[in-house]
Structure 1
Amino acid sequence: MMPVSTARQELESSTTSLADRAYAAIQDQLIMLDIPPMAPIDDLALSESLGIGRTPVREALKRLEVDRLVVSYPRRGTFATGVDITDLAYISEIRVQLEPLAARRAAENAGKALREKLAELADTIQDNDVLIMSRNELMQWDLRVHRSIYRAAGNPHLEDTLVRYNNLATRIFCVFLERITHFDRHIEEHVGLLRAVADGESRRAEKIARDHVTGFEKAIRAII
């Protein structure tokens, strides 16, 4: 018979893994608005659709509440948070300080192998045809670029903070994406940022990241 302590450790490890899977999957649905803003969250339905037990799903929802992607009300249940355009200024205020910091640190600290991967990512994105890509594909690439830069910065606390606020910004982006013109410029900025980091050009990377955040806010405000 397996010792109780070992069995418990394996169970906890399994539960954590399932909770992480549930967290990532539900987070993606919330960011991409597949779960619409203000929609009720049915943990049983999520459990069945994801093939994951209700306990890991509930654990994931607790984490997502901390991320401000869901909100729970006593006796009412859990809901996707609304997308409030007034939050754009608050989110941008944080990102305009931290995105350039992450880009600069990534350019200064990333190792050779990671720089090569960022350069390859830039090549791939540059070869993509933006006009034929779906909203989901565009946003997935956007998330991948930003998260790659955050990871390359080498500061897990900075990474966690930026992932959280970029997720909130992406929800706003998804609401207005079909009305945004010149999305190709947004993609070009991604390519430039990745190449600056890959080449170790810290000041250039910092500037591109700052302009990227301020440009995003201006683009959204121009259509509301």
Structure 2
Amino acid sequence: MAKAGSKVVSRALSKTPVKRQKRQSVFEDADVGLDILLEPLRETRKEPRAPARRPRRDDAPAEDASLTDRAYRILEELIATLQLPPGAVLSELTLSDRLKIGRTPIREALQRLARDGLVVVLPRRGVLVSDINLRTQLRLLEVRRVLEVLMAGLAAERATAEEREAFAEIAGSMRQAAEVEDDLAFMRLDRRFNLLMAQASRNEFAVRSMGLMNALSRRFWYQHYKEVADLPLAARLHAEVAEAVARRDRKAAETAASNLVDYIEDFARKTLDA
């Protein structure tokens, strides 16, 4: 099983369809590939590396959690950007070898991905990347609309000065990514936007619910955006939410969030004709 899974994952990780080849990111120093994804995904290029140190025995639980988070971020991005396509068989051993991360953090990351709906655990078949389904996406959007509006409003009221500054920075960077049609940079900024929104809203129940939807939504968008999406419009709508939060304007933030979900739903329905 591991040998067959290894071949599938190796092909998925090493070959990206021509139309999915990445352009140079305006936020990275090199072409995006597995080598970059294996590095910790720092929020900004200026973030210093932590000094290397030999872990003590009592550091092990925290270190394992950090490795699980790192494995999750890498695998989530590989799945969301279709470098691990729907139906790919994932082997813990192969992923551990390729990512240079132990099998326990890999296993825990896969369990989180299963909860997010990005992978499916099948008896006697192993772990498979889940299929992309339009009907599932539309049902997801029914719930996402309520949560997006709620969280945007809460964030506008509860965000700290530092968080509002970060929202303004993300808005500008999103517009810049759209101008140069840098899809991967936009997706990474979208992930930062979602994480910051979750933090600033300060409602753990809304955050947990939204967390199950964000990765699925990014993957659906990435699969179809070349055919039916308008990247500048998507960036502008995200930026308007972020800017309203930065201004502490709850009503504007809720309206902008509703407009964003209108666009996302329209985008999903257009995929039927693509």
TM-score by length of 2: 0.74
Give the equivalent residue in structure 1 for 2:208. Answer: 160
Give the equivalent residue in structure 2 for 1:113. Answer: 162
Please give the residue correspondences for 1:42-57 in structure 2 after superposition, counting only pairs within 5 Å: 42-57=91-106
Q: Give, in angstroms, the shift of residue 218 of structure 1.
A: 0.8
Q: Give, in angstroms, the shift of residue 186 of structure 1.
A: 1.2
- Equivalent residue in structure 2 for 1:198, among 227, 237, 246: 246
Contact 2:152 2:245 (C-alpha < 8 Å) held by counterparts: yes
Aligned equivalents of 1:125 and 1:16: distance in 2? 30
Q: Structure 1 residue 30 and structure 2 residue 86: aligned?
A: no
Alignment-mate amino acid for residue 108 of structure 1: E
Q: Which runs of 5+ in 2 are unaligned?
A: 1-55
Q: Give, in angstroms, the shift of residue 35 of structure 1.
A: 0.7
Aligned equivalents of 2:230 and 2:108: distance in 1? 40
Aligned equivalents of 1:124 and 1:62: distance in 2? 32
Aligned equivalents of 1:131 and 1:180: distance in 2? 17
Alignment-mate amino acid for residue 205 of structure 2: H
Contact 1:135 1:177 (C-alpha < 8 Å) held by counterparts: no
Deviations 1:149-194 (A, max 9, x none): 2221122332232122121111111110101243211111111111
CA RMSD of aligned residues (A): 1.7
Aligned equivalents of 1:140 and 1:129: distance in 2? 10
Q: Structure 1 residue 169 and structure 2 residue 222: aligned?
A: no
Report SS of the residue matched to 1:175. helix
Q: Give, in angstroms, the shift of residue 138 of structure 1.
A: 2.5
Please give the residue correspondences for 1:1-224 in structure 2 after superposition, counting only pairs within 5 Å: 7=57, 9-126=58-175, 128-224=176-272
Aligned equivalents of 1:52 and 1:35: distance in 2? 18
Contact 1:95 1:165 (C-alpha < 8 Å) held by counterparts: yes
Change (3 A) 1:15 1:146: closer
Which of structure 1's runs of 4+ aligned residues deviate more than 6 A? none
TM-score by length of 1: 0.90
How many residue pairs match? The answer is: 217
Contact 2:152 2:197 (C-alpha < 8 Å) held by counterparts: yes
Identity %: 30
Q: Give, in angstroms, the shift of residue 131 of structure 1.
A: 4.9
Q: Which sits farther off after the overlay, 195-204 or 16-25?
A: 16-25
Alignment-mate amino acid for residue 170 of structure 1: R
Aligned equivalents of 2:172 and 2:149: distance in 1? 22
Alignment-mate amino acid for residue 138 of structure 1: F
Deviations 1:89-136 (A, max 9, x none): 11101101100000000001111121122112222333x152533432
Larger relative contact order, structure 1 or 2 (CA cutoff 8 Å, min sep 6):
1
Give the equivalent residue in structure 2 for 1:3. Answer: none
Alignment-mate amino acid for residue 174 of structure 1: Y
Report SS of the residue matched to 1:86. helix
Q: Which sits farther off after the overlay, 19-28 or 133-142?
A: 133-142
Deviations 1:25-82 (A, max 9, x none): 1112112221101111122221112110112101111121111111111111110011
